[in-house]
Amino acid sequence: MKLVVRVIEARNIPAMDQNGYSDPYVRLQLGRQRFKTKVVRKSLSPSWEEEFSFKVEDLKDELVISVLDEDKYFNDDFVGFLKIPVSRVFDADNKSLPTAWHSLQPKNKKSKNKDCGEILLTISFSHNTSSADFNINSDPLDQLKTTESPKRSFSGPSNAPSPVRVEDTTSSREEKSCAQKTLAGRIAQMFNKNSDTASDRGVDFLELPETTKSELFDDKCVDQSSSASFEEAMKTMEPRDLGSEVPSNLPGGVLVDQMYVIAPQDLNTLLFSPDSNFPRTWAEEQGNTELQIGPWRFENGCESLKRDVTYIKAANKLIKATKGFEEQTYLKADGKVFAILASVSTPEVMYGGSFKTELLFCITPGPELSSGEQSSHLVISWRMNFLQSTMMKGMIENGARSALRETYEQFATFLSQTITPVDSNDMGLNKEQILASLQPEPQSDWKLAVHYFANFTVVSSFFMGIYVLIHIWLATSTTIQGLEFVGLDLPDSIGEFIVCGVLVLQGERFLQLISRFMQARKQKGSDHGVKAQGDGWLLTVALIKGDNLAAVDSSGFCDPYVVFTCNGKSRTSSIKFQQCDPMWNEIFEYDAMDEPPSMLDVEVYDFDGPFNEATSLGHAEINFVKSDISDLADVWIPLQGKLAQACQSKLHLRIFLNNTKGSNVVKEYLTKMEKEVGKKINLRSPQTNSAFQKLFGLPPEEFLINDFTCHLKRKMLLQGRLFLSARIIGFHANLFGHKTNFFFLWEDIEDIQVLPPSLSSMGSPVIVMTLRQGRGMDARHGAKTQDEEGRLKFHFHSFVSYNVAHR
């Protein structure tokens, strides 16, 4: 007997993606037989209308129906599932369950989404166990496809290409039962024997449309085993990936972030081409043996390009030599940007079957260098993908983190011996070239006036004024009546009163427009091009243009301008009249600062005259502590706020931060601090500063001032070290492998108080740091309390030397 399942549609599917939709599909499994439907894009009420056929061997089996959300880059999200015993269908009337809605259940009780939606199914038994008749005069390949295909689609003819991929074949006994004792049946058996080989090449005969044998074997989706075919594979993926988003860094952290003097295509070829010697040389450097690099192959109908790599990883102090399996998949390859996900499994190590280590290689174009050469930006990030829960999760993750950081520090050094890293001095020259190429758009006052005043209000006011003047010229003087006297002529009727009111209001609007225009012309980008003064940290911001700014005027446009604020100093751009996609090309420089800046606040306003409060079109914050300054050299900043998020507004900026004093700026800063705190402060070594930067993921310009042993007071006391630098306060603790790590900015602190010693603080004064409202949310897991206004409070005490730490 066969169990026929018809998947019709679903409703109330929860949104699993950030765009408020899901990409749902259904996976069905009975025993070892497993099928799936097509994926419906961006839908919470998907419709499939597909039918599947399962061979039933045991009535005790359960049919498992799962709904999942497809994720383009990473593992698919689980939506919900349901189980239907086969015996329930067998015992029902007519051995079938009528068309009905079935509620989906969450994966476990801890799932966030309790309401997983419903799915409409029809399930029944079919007593027709014979295979489809073979036609000895037809193509055996077509007969095989017709006989073995487990699914029929209601949305098209039966000979259309099937969108369903068979994920797991049935047992060999089932395959043999389908073959008849006819000539055609024996030919079908011959094809079945070779099915495994075909699937290994990424070709599934069950999915192929009716085609000739020559078309089948001329398919472009074949193994890419030579350098030439690797280039062809890149060209094949280029039009498909053009315009797609670059995958974001994996949450485990960044292992390598470096720019090299090489084109992105060449760097991709060096790292991943089958003919490149770099992977083999790097394996020898690591002591890995038996390296086997498989050919690149297309899978899923040319949708993904993959290859397999196996090797025996060299033994170290903790683990013995073990075999590693690595699957590399291209997520994006558009000719300029390349993203490769490597999934590494080591099943021979302890708990090796419960996790995989995933590495994301992102190669993007860097800025053009002053020498005219191209540059590439290589970022390698990682995460642990746990296939099943384990109590050793924390220990496994911490061990992998330290091992990966050490390995990829060596990788970056080894790669730098092959290709040249970008020199910071070369980048500095490039900054001058970039800024010199920016020229603000010339603005003629007369053209702006015509563009600004060419609207209904001005034109109607003009004609009304002409009309009134002509009326005064033609009209004769009237006699004084009522409360009038010489010099005061009042309206003589309700109609005249209404007309006078309209004229006054129209004149007021006309005068407001003139005052707005005159005020805006005074603010004609006065901060643009003003050179910075002094030596130290120089911040330069180039405002290029805006995109999709919110239209708040009745005309359907806005009059935007931008205000940049850093360390209490502001720079204001010129006002662009009646534009939602303005082009500025203006440069703003800040005078030299003794310490590197922490934040740059960006606020976009709509100009509404000198007497009215400007309307905010959006805002953004640029955190220099959490950003690599090289990434800010050419960046699109999305704006926050209701209007900005509704319109998806963003600004194009180029930001440069330079130190004109070199290492002297650190020494001068510490000398200034010594005078303030009355204590000698020693300059830390480069190795100590480097370790401090890696501990908190800080940029290379950050330097350590001092650190103290103390207790962090939360629900339970936690001993660790408090680190102080020019821009941040950070805390780090490691308790039996469980690490607590956070930091916040000095400028986020609103108040610092000292509480007297108490029994709970073990006789030590407590330093309480209160942050401003909404600030430091990344560090809230270290805060003791959060008050009603949303301000975080951090408690530190039990310093070895309290007086020194407090100063």
* pLDDT tens track for 446-465: 666 666 666 677 788 788 88
Q: Three-class SS of residue 420?
A: coil
How many residues are present in the chain?
Answer: 807
At CA 588, angle to CA 583 and CA 594, rounded to 5? 155
Q: Which of 546, 697, 692, 539 is nearest to 622 (CA)?
A: 539
* pLDDT tens track for 195-242: 343 334 333 333 333 333 333 333 444 444 444 488 888 888 888 777
Structure tokens at 621: 């914050």
Place of tokens 């005027």: 553
The domains spanning 2-126 and 525-659 adopt the same CATH topology: yes
Provide the pLDDT for residue 67: 93
- pLDDT band (50, 70, 90) for residue 529: low
Average pLDDT for residues 18-38, to the nearest whole number?
Answer: 87
Residue type, 652: H
Q: For the structural domain made of 664-806, what CATH number should be given? A: 2.30.29.30
Judged against a pLDDT cut of 50, whether residue 384 lies above it is answered with yes
CATH topology for 230-423 is Alpha-D-Glucose-1,6-Bisphosphate; Chain A, domain 4 (3.30.530)
* pLDDT tens track for 535-565: 778 899 999 889 989 888 766 778 888 999 9
Average pLDDT for residues 344-361, to the nearest whole number?
Answer: 87
- pLDDT band (50, 70, 90) for residue 188: very low
- pLDDT band (50, 70, 90) for residue 162: very low
Provide the pLDDT for residue 63: 92
Average pLDDT for residues 34-57, to the nearest whole number?
Answer: 89
- pLDDT band (50, 70, 90) for residue 665: confident
Judged against a pLDDT cut of 70, whether residue 671 lies above it is answered with yes
The secondary structure element, H or E, covering residue 357 is: strand 355-365
Pair 344, 308: CB distance under 8 Å: no
Structure tokens at 126: 């079919």
- pLDDT band (50, 70, 90) for residue 791: very high
Provide the pLDDT for residue 527: 59
Q: Which CATH class is domain 525-659?
A: mainly beta
Contacts 24+ apart (CB under 8 A), 160-165: 160/209, 161/207, 161/208, 161/209, 162/206, 162/207, 163/37, 163/38, 164/35, 164/36, 164/37, 164/38, 164/50, 164/207, 165/36, 165/204, 165/207, 165/300
Range with the lowest mean pLDDT among 212-226, 356-370, 474-488?
A: 212-226
Q: What percent of the chain has pLDDT over 70?
A: 78
Chain mean pLDDT for the chain: 78
Provide the pLDDT for residue 123: 92
The secondary structure element, H or E, covering residue 807 is: none
Domain 2-126: CATH superfamily, name plus number = C2 domain (2.60.40.150)
Average pLDDT for residues 461-476, to the nearest whole number?
Answer: 83
* pLDDT tens track for 300-330: 767 788 999 999 888 776 677 888 899 999 9
Q: To 10 degrees, what angle do helices 227-241 and 264-272 make?
A: 130
Provide the pLDDT for residue 744: 94
What's the rounded Cα separation, in Å, for the pair 6 and 120? 9
Contacts of 657 (CB under 8 A, 6+ apart): 537, 538, 539, 540, 596, 597, 624, 629, 632, 701
**Sheet of 47-55: strands edge to edge?**
96-103, 118-126, 2-11, 47-55, 151-153
* pLDDT tens track for 703-761: 899 899 999 998 888 999 999 998 999 999 998 888 899 999 998 999 999 998 888 77
Average pLDDT for residues 24-47, to the nearest whole number?
Answer: 89
Judged against a pLDDT cut of 60, whether residue 173 lies above it is answered with no
* pLDDT tens track for 95-114: 888 889 999 988 877 676 77
Judged against a pLDDT cut of 50, whether residue 349 lies above it is answered with yes
Alpha-carbon dihedral 234, 238, 240, 243, rounded to 10 degrees: 140
Q: Which of 50, 58, 67 is nearest to 4 (CA)?
A: 50
What's the rounded Cα separation, in Å, for the pair 109 and 690? 45
- pLDDT band (50, 70, 90) for residue 432: low
Going from N- to C-terminal start, the domains of the chain cover 2-126, 230-423, 455-473+496-523, 525-659, 664-806
Provide the pLDDT for residue 362: 93
Pair 617, 558: CB distance under 8 Å: yes
Provide the pLDDT for residue 132: 37
